[in-house]
Amino acid sequence: MFADGFGAFLTEFGPLLLEGVWATLAMTLISSALAYLLGIPLGVLLTITAPGGLKPNRTLSATLGWVVNMGRSLPFVILVVVLIPFTRLVVGTTLGVPGAIVPLVIAAIPFVARIIENSLAEVPAGVIEAAQACGANTFQIITKVLLREGLPSIARSVALTVITLFGYSAIAGMVGAGGLGDIAIRYGYNRYQDDVLLAALVIIIVLIQLIQSACNLLVRHIDKRA
């Protein structure tokens, strides 16, 4: 009896849930990659322009810090609405996965920048001084000392970033981006289909556990001290 009911459920909602999984993963992973691509340079700038940094610049450091703090303080659901004209300009739509990626990336960049700043701040000053004594220039210190020494800490932050954006993708789903969050609300909650809501919830939990496990493996591979 249970098998028949489960089979009927998969027949009716299986393709929908599978589509939701792919949409959620696409939104999360693409936006995470773009956020790190843009957030790492910003985090490096925050680090080297800070007082005591490689290239201290009080004005630039304060300006960047203010922009990052402002970006982190905006609730994501408000950011999605505010960015509708910009999102439409960049990708031509505010719906679906493309429409979700733009606000997800913009929301994640300040978050990633602070993570990078904190990771680079953990690099011992003696290592930087040794590189300077050997004649390394600023670019070499950034790429071969700061980023390399801070890589284990940066790798640990990947899980936090991806899982945070995973949660944001559910909010984006409520405003037309699709994905598991949209399925849980539109089919499970609004139509009182508890089985769909439960299935979406279970899939979300499983995906988050898989992401966390994959990131843990990445950290163990990178961090030779572990």
DSSP annotation string for 26-50:
HHHHHHHHHHHHHHHHHHHHHHHHS
Lowest mean pLDDT segment, chosen from 127-131, 189-193, 216-220: 189-193
Phi, psi dihedrals of residue 137, rounded to the nearest 5°:
-85, 180
- Looking at the predicted structure, is the pLDDT value of residue 113 above 80? yes
pLDDT the model gives residue 5: 65
How is residue 170 written in tokens? 């559910």
Nearest to 67 by CA among 113, 4, 28: 113
- Structural domain containing residue 101: 2-222
Q: What is the CATH number of the domain that holds 74?
A: 1.10.3720.10
Q: pLDDT (tens digit, 9 = 90+) per residue, 159-187? A: 889 988 988 888 887 666 778 888 888 88
**How many domains are there within the chain?**
1
> How large is the average pLDDT for residues 191-208?
87
Percent over 90 (pLDDT), the chain: 23
**Per-residue pLDDT, 4:** 59
For Cα atoms 151, 25, 87, give the angle at the middle one, nearest 5 degrees. 95
Q: How far apart are the first and last CA of the chain?
A: 49
- Find all residues with CB under 8 Å of 73, minimum gap 6, and list them: none
pTM (two decimals): 0.87
Mean pLDDT, the chain, rounded, equals 85
Encode pLDDT of 13-37 as tens digits. Answer: 788 889 889 989 999 999 999 999 9
Spatial distance between the Cα atoms of 80 and 159, rounded to a whole number of angstroms: 23
